[in-house]
Structure 1
């Protein structure tokens, strides 16, 4: 595995991982049965690994896709004026005008997510959007209440993350709100989850990065995806995959 000493972004997918290095090039490893690990050649400013496909954002505001969802079906809205991307079981793009567009989802983007959005997160069958007033919007499958945004996530939210059947929101006071499926305790936030600066939710586990550079993980641990390694210190980036987790510190993987 190639390692870049300056990593701009990490993204954990269903059973593969992506890194965007300091030169804007993409590195991929893991399961490749759908060409998930054959990223496009070029310079990019953002990446997002989904369940079986990935997205990359170019500086010109256009998006490319590879893996199980290909660019041939990508709507024109993904091809210009995009400033953020998120891949899950489907694809989301945040446009420069603050509107959200979706691809390969059976759920339409609600009217509330068509303006003043500052962040997006695609789960497997549901989506989250963060508005500039600090409130969260959710839509899609709601079997486990993953789209029932609690009162605590309707103000002062600064980051969001959609898992398979649960959702996370990071508040401006460093606390985390979780809702949806809790069958593996992925919504039971540990007592030491405070001073948080980043969050990541995936199928059945959750990650949080503390201000001091340490990681907290909770939920399913069948594949040791919540067993944080001893060398996970001074961490700057985290991302949760389906059955693994990534942290940026000489590419710690667990």
Structure 2
């Protein structure tokens, strides 16, 4: 049966990572580059040369892990030595462990590094003066060492790092913290450092956390309810807590949010936070000295503030130091904050970038992975995909039923929640459906709604041509933009004299401009036949009048 862990399944291999922006990989041959499915890049200031030195760690498809470069931080490779490795050096202890995640601390030159395996084990090495490796000591270590103690039997799905503190998120939605606690950033109701992972309770007790993030000396958690909690360094309330506290905050408190607003992703710079809402808007708060909030000023922001809606719907966000970036649904990159030695105070489109990773190169804001299809909130391996395909309309494992034309379609709430913001609000918000196990659909046909639900499991549009316009309307209503575009492409192949007027009216009603224009062009070429069709005669008066006026203008 599907479990809540599927919310945080680590991605399998997809397309190739684009490595050309990171010069440290230039010496690798093309075959090796193609084999890399996960990488991080580290840097350290070279004061003598007034420049930066770089190192890299990467994982290949055949489950081997390598380090190369300057071997910063007195042994950041995990190879047990402190010497540079211009050529890749195999990290034996991590090979064969199916490493799916790599993370490192925020502060350059004092790296603590973490590797997460597919079974949820965490290996840590590097800087450990505050116990941030979670190994029960304060000794630096040159060799990746498995974190045990309180994480035994737990499956870790994410690690987030501040400067000297670390968070680990487990598959059952619990957060563990370790390292420096001077500012209360561990959230343990005290200011005592911890060298062994300690569970964060307080306001998080009994709640399910789906993501974590860290500022330099603060921590944040995103709950499955869409709420955000924060704790740690909070000078001038840069954490935007609902109950303002301008001092250090040592227990999790909820962040102020707009009424009914729900967040689906959080990321942090050194002292600012970005949050992506379920309706694809970007909110920001915290320090704004370089314009990283994106509100057009450099004034500190202590209330989550929506970034200009002019950038349209956003499907991914990233932050690094004093800079921010967003990827829109139309695959445009917007940047703001400190970029290229200048402060950009408002989101500005940049056509030079195609991925968020490239925005920050040669630094990185997150581990480099193959380019993902972010229309999916979860990414599965082949066996898990097979399970999903068999799970569709399976009444034995489903936990929700849609009744359409008297027939039942069995689905899993978690799949709908993760793939669609509308259903996330419906099932996790305060709607009545949250407490129901069945809903009757009256406005769509069974065949169309069945194809719509099937798309959630297969990511393929399997529908009869005569039903595709109906699915197109559903995709619009439920805000499934990728599906809407697939429907639109299919519709353009089935336009006829008999159905053109109906498609035109629906495209006009839904403001689907490209489809409307396509059908209009078809109608112009077949004007006499279209006007004589039954569908044209049933057009609403306003639509018919606008159509004829537009046609007359085209004929001038």
Normalised-by-shorter TM-score class: 0.7 to 0.9
Structure 1 pair 68/229, CA: closer, same or farther in 2 (3 Å)?
Answer: farther
Mapped contact 2:266–2:276 kept (Cα < 8 A): yes
Structure 1 pair 220/151, CA: closer, same or farther in 2 (3 Å)?
Answer: same
Structure 1 pair 81/182, CA: closer, same or farther in 2 (3 Å)?
Answer: same
Tell which deviates more after alignment, 70-79 or 170-179.
70-79
**Partner of residue 72 from structure 2, selected from 21, 28, 33:** 33
Mapped contact 2:160–2:213 kept (Cα < 8 A): yes
Kindly provide the CA deviation profile for residues 49-97 of structure 1, in whole angstroms up to 9, marking residues without a partner as x. Answer: 3222222111222111122134633562345321222123221111122
- Measured after TM superposition, the shift of residue 208 of structure 1 is 1.5
**Partner of residue 159 from structure 2, selected from 60, 85, 89:** 85
Matches of residues 1-254 of structure 1 in structure 2 within 5 Å?
Answer: 1=25, 2=28, 4-5=33-34, 8-9=37-38, 11=40, 19-26=58-65, 32-34=71-73, 35-38=75-78, 40=91, 41-42=94-95, 43-51=98-106, 52-69=111-128, 70=133, 72-73=135-136, 76-79=149-152, 80-89=154-163, 90-106=165-181, 107=184, 108=188, 109-114=200-205, 115-148=207-240, 149-152=255-258, 155-189=261-295, 191=308, 192-221=310-339, 232-233=353-354, 235=355, 238=357, 244-245=363-364
d(CA) in 2 for partners of 1:249, 1:230: 21
Q: Secondary structure at the match of 2:291?
A: coil
Structure 1 pair 121/143, CA: closer, same or farther in 2 (3 Å)?
Answer: same
Q: Name the one with the larger strand percent.
A: 1
Structure 1 pair 98/243, CA: closer, same or farther in 2 (3 Å)?
Answer: same
Mapped contact 1:200–1:208 kept (Cα < 8 A): yes
Structure 1 pair 47/230, CA: closer, same or farther in 2 (3 Å)?
Answer: same
Q: Secondary structure at the match of 1:238?
A: helix
Structure 1 pair 13/119, CA: closer, same or farther in 2 (3 Å)?
Answer: farther
Q: Secondary structure at the match of 1:77?
A: helix
Structure 1 pair 199/72, CA: closer, same or farther in 2 (3 Å)?
Answer: same
Unmatched 5+ residue regions in structure 1? none
Tell which deviates more after alignment, 15-24 or 239-248.
239-248
- Measured after TM superposition, the shift of residue 48 of structure 1 is 1.8
Mapped contact 1:78–1:93 kept (Cα < 8 A): no
- The structure whose RCO (Cα within 8 Å, separation 6+) is larger is 1
Kindly provide the CA deviation profile for residues 124-163 of structure 1, in whole angstroms up to 9, marking residues without a partner as x. Answer: 1111101011110111101143321332397310000122
Q: Secondary structure at the match of 2:258?
A: helix
- Measured after TM superposition, the shift of residue 99 of structure 1 is 1.0
Tell which deviates more after alignment, 32-41 or 9-18.
9-18
Kindly provide the CA deviation profile for residues 83-121 of structure 1, in whole angstroms up to 9, marking residues without a partner as x. Answer: 222123221111122110111130223522343111111
Q: Secondary structure at the match of 2:288?
A: coil
d(CA) in 2 for partners of 1:139, 1:11: 27
Q: Secondary structure at the match of 2:339?
A: coil
Mapped contact 1:117–1:130 kept (Cα < 8 A): yes
d(CA) in 2 for partners of 1:187, 1:153: 21
Tell which deviates more after alignment, 175-184 or 92-101.
92-101
d(CA) in 2 for partners of 1:56, 1:224: 34
Tell which deviates more after alignment, 242-251 or 190-199.
242-251
Unmatched 5+ residue regions in structure 2? 1-24, 45-53, 80-90, 137-146, 189-199, 241-254, 296-306, 372-556
Tell which deviates more after alignment, 46-55 or 2-11.
2-11
Structure 1 pair 187/32, CA: closer, same or farther in 2 (3 Å)?
Answer: farther
Kindly provide the CA deviation profile for residues 182-230 of structure 1, in whole angstroms up to 9, marking residues without a partner as x. Answer: 0111112563443211212222111222223332221112558989986
Q: How many residue pairs get matched?
A: 249
